[in-house]
């Protein structure tokens, strides 16, 4: 059982210079208090007022935190809380700190007895490709150390190398993250692969973590808006923070901001390795063998990684992710043969999921939800199906990433076909308004917009039409394998694009 005493909590906050004061029913202390408080023990950490008990240490966090939450927690038995301000609650001692999110991270790390010290940690960031690279790297490591790799990703979480659970955030809140790392340690995992979002640094979710290896995949405008990053510059700074906490940094040489990112990495990391299609310590040869084949090349080859590889995912852009995964695998002492096998067998749910049906008709389900990922996906489609009629089905989320709406319209302008604008986690926003914003940025008349607000109906309409046609290619973008639709602040059940497609195709082929 994990536990922390009041004295241990005080000393910890003092050590990290986070403590402002201790408020005991209006009496303020700093580094000492009445003796009867010293032995109070807390065995549970929570920031949810509905998940507390008498032994809970409660954290008052978030811009929307209300005093009613701490009152509710105290009524449920909480006698100790941490906050950035004092609250007028009777019977609860408040530890007032300079930064609640930093306090969450350092307290959770000590509470769970520093699980990071017994795990290999790999952090992966980038505007797109984080999940794909995580799953490719996992496939590689599974070949070398079966059942010993945990992962925390947008798509799912696995802490025992076997079972998976749904993920709510790309990178969990600090209390949840440290609990997960402790669970991975208890399950005797050797390595934890983790997607690290820009919000993870902005919100201090990974504060106190140091990564054995960290990778920076790519960067393009995204997540710019009122509720996320105020500017592209802020987004870049938050992404680059990962390079400050990596023993070894792996960076895509083709990043526009590579020189800046590399300088940050060199200042903080022991080693920096670059990669790319044409530039870097390691590069790709995409002209060898079959379309799924590629070669890794290097002038010096410090990792002894050069050679011929095969990838189980379509698309040259995925080979770039595979190269990054191969470098990570080699840095973790994985043999080249295991890397080759892992990449050949790799698959990623909701990424480039292909279904063929009818008379040379094809459907691709993919998570592509921003400028760079959608452009790469559609480039792949038109290159491989130049004579097919293109139908794209997509939307944009409500309440975040508002810049994506314009970006999607701009991307769609470069292609010929039809786009069916529909819902994609609209939350509190109007599906019609989101769709109109996307459509307003489609330039020219080569891409015809249509509007079907219900996503199931939109997909059914496109598939039904293709049944009576030939050489159709349908791209369903945005949700990947997600089986929920966020509306009015709630996750509502949704069949999932991939499952819906299978159901419709089974009916079409009968």
Q: Which residues are 477's β-sheet partners?
A: 366
Judgement on whether residues 222 and 268 belong to the same structural domain of the protein:
yes
Judgement on whether residues 131 and 54 belong to the same structural domain of the protein:
no
Q: Which H helix or E strand runs over 138?
A: helix 130-144
At residue 493, the pLDDT reads 95
DSSP 3-state of 380? helix
Structural domain for 436, as ranges: 353-508
At residue 229, the pLDDT reads 65
Distance CA 126, CA 324 (A): 12
At residue 428, the pLDDT reads 95
Judgement on whether residues 396 and 340 belong to the same structural domain of the protein:
no
Judgement on whether residues 102 and 242 belong to the same structural domain of the protein:
no
CA distances from 322 to 11, 30, 344 (A): 45, 52, 10
**What would the two tokens of residue 461 be?**
């309409």
Q: 344, 365, 388: which is the final residue of a domain?
A: 344
**Which of these, 252, 254, 257, 256, lies nearest to 272 by C-alpha position?**
252
Radius of gyration (C-alpha) of the chain in whole angstroms: 25
Which pLDDT tens digits describe the chain residue by residue (510 residues)? 899 999 999 999 999 999 999 998 888 989 876 656 557 899 999 999 999 999 999 999 988 899 999 999 999 999 999 999 999 888 899 999 999 999 999 999 999 999 999 999 999 999 889 999 999 999 999 999 999 999 999 889 999 999 999 888 889 999 999 999 999 999 999 999 999 998 898 889 999 999 999 999 998 766 555 566 668 888 889 899 999 999 999 999 999 999 999 999 999 999 999 999 999 999 999 988 777 899 999 999 999 999 999 998 888 889 999 999 999 999 999 999 999 999 999 988 888 889 999 889 999 999 888 888 899 899 999 998 999 999 999 999 998 878 889 999 999 999 999 999 999 999 999 999 999 999 999 999 999 999 999 999 999 999 999 988 899 999 999 998 889 999 999 999 999 999 999 999 985 554
Q: 60, 89, 111: which is the final residue of a domain?
A: 111
Task: Quote the DSSP letter at residue 123.
Answer: E
Judgement on whether residues 304 and 365 belong to the same structural domain of the protein:
no
At residue 202, the pLDDT reads 85
**What would the two tokens of residue 148 be?**
């010993």
Judgement on whether residues 140 and 210 belong to the same structural domain of the protein:
yes
At residue 372, the pLDDT reads 85
**CATH number of the domain encompassing residue 25:** 3.40.1390.10
**What would the two tokens of residue 86 be?**
């004092």
Q: How many domains does the chain have?
A: 3
**What is the pTM for the complete model shown?**
0.85
Judgement on whether residues 401 and 494 belong to the same structural domain of the protein:
yes
Could you count the other beta carbons within 10 Å of the beta carbon of residue 23? 21
**CATH number of the domain encompassing residue 260:** 3.40.1190.10
Q: Which H helix or E strand runs over 187?
A: none
| 250 phi, psi to nearest 5 deg | -115, 120
Q: 59, 92, 111: which is the final residue of a domain?
A: 111
**CATH number of the domain encompassing residue 369:** 3.90.190.20
- Cβ within 8 Å of residue 65, ≥6 positions away: none
**Which of these, 92, 95, 99, lies nearest to 71 by C-alpha position?**
92
Cα–chain center distance at 405? 20
Judgement on whether residues 132 and 103 belong to the same structural domain of the protein:
no
At residue 402, the pLDDT reads 81
Distance CA 22, CA 214 (A): 38
Distance CA 366, CA 479 (A): 7
Q: Specify whether the CB–CB gap between 108 and 45 falls below 8 A.
A: yes
**What would the two tokens of residue 434 be?**
């989101």
At residue 109, the pLDDT reads 98
Could you count the other beta carbons within 10 Å of the beta carbon of residue 285? 16
Judgement on whether residues 337 and 372 belong to the same structural domain of the protein:
no
**Which of these, 99, 73, 104, lies nearest to 87 by C-alpha position?**
73
Please count the residues of the chain: 510
- Angle between the N-to-C axes of helices 403-412 and 371-384, in degrees from 0 to 180, rounded to the nearest 10: 20
Judgement on whether residues 141 and 101 belong to the same structural domain of the protein:
no
**What would the two tokens of residue 180 be?**
């997960």
Judgement on whether residues 170 and 311 belong to the same structural domain of the protein:
yes
**Which of these, 321, 314, 323, lies nearest to 296 by C-alpha position?**
323
- Angle between the N-to-C axes of helices 100-111 and 6-15, in degrees from 0 to 180, rounded to the nearest 10: 120
Judgement on whether residues 278 and 188 belong to the same structural domain of the protein:
yes
Distance CA 164, CA 453 (A): 31
**Which of these, 64, 61, 67, 63, lies nearest to 92 by C-alpha position?**
67
DSSP string spanning 214-225? EEE----S-SBS
Q: Specify whether the CB–CB gap between 471 and 361 falls below 8 A.
A: yes
């Amino acid at each position: 059982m994990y536990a922390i005493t009041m004295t241990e909590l005080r000393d910890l906050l003092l050590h990290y210079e986070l403590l402002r004061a201790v408020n005991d029913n209006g009496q303020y202390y700093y580094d000492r208090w009445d003796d009867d408080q010293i032995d109070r023990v807390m065995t549970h950490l929570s920031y949810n007022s509905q998940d507390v008990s008498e032994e809970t240490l409660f954290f008052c966090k978030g811009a929307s935190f209300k005093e009613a939450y701490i009152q509710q927690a105290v009524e449920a038995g909480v006698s100790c809380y941490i906050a950035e301000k004092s609250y007028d609650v009777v019977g609860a001692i408040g530890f007032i700190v300079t930064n609640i999110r930093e306090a969450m991270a350092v307290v959770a790390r000590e509470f769970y007895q520093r699980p990071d010290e017994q795990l290999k940690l790999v952090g992966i960031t980038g505007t797109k490709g984080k999940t794909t690279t995580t799953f490719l790297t996992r496939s590689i490591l599974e070949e070398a150390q079966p059942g010993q790799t945990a992962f925390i990703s947008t798509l799912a979480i696995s802490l025992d190398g076997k079972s998976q659970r749904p993920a709510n955030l790309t990178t969990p809140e600090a209390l949840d993250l440290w609990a997960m790392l402790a669970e991975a340690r208890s399950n005797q995992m050797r390595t934890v692969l983790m997607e690290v979002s820009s919000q993870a640094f902005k919100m201090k979710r990974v504060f106190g973590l140091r990564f054995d290896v960290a990778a920076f995949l790519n960067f393009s405008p995204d997540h710019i808006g009122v509720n996320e990053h105020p500017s592209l510059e802020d987004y870049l700074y938050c992404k680059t923070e990962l390079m400050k906490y990596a023993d070894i940094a792996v960076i895509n040489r083709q990043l526009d901001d590579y020189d800046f990112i590399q300088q940050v990495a060199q200042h903080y990391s022991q080693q920096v390795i670059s990669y790319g299609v044409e530039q870097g310590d390691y590069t790709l040869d995409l002209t060898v063998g079959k379309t799924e084949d590629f070669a890794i090349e290097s002038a010096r080859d410090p990792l002894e990684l050069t050679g011929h590889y095969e990838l189980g995912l379509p698309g040259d852009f995925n080979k770039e992710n595979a190269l990054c995964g191969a470098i990570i695998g080699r840095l973790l002492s994985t043999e080249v043969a295991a890397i080759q096998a892992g990449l050949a067998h790799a698959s990623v749910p909701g990424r480039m999921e292909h279904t063929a049906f009818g008379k040379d008709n094809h459907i691709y389900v993919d998570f592509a939800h921003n400028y760079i990922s959608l452009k790469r996906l559609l480039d792949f489609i038109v290159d491989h199906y130049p004579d097919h009629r293109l139908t794209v089905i997509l939307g944009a989320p409500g309440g975040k990433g508002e810049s994506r709406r314009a970006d999607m319209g701009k991307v769609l302008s470069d292609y010929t076909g039809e786009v069916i604008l529909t819902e994609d986690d609209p939350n509190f926003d109007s599906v019609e308004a989101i769709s109109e914003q996307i459509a307003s940025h489609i330039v020219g008349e080569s891409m015809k917009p249509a509007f079907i607000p219900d996503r199931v109906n939109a997909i059914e309409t496109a598939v039904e039409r293709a049944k009576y046609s030939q050489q159709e290619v349908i791209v369903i973008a945005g949700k990947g394998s997600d089986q929920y639709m966020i509306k009015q602040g709630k996750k509502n059940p949704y069949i999932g694009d991939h499952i819906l497609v299978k159901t419709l195709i089974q009916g079409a082929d009968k």
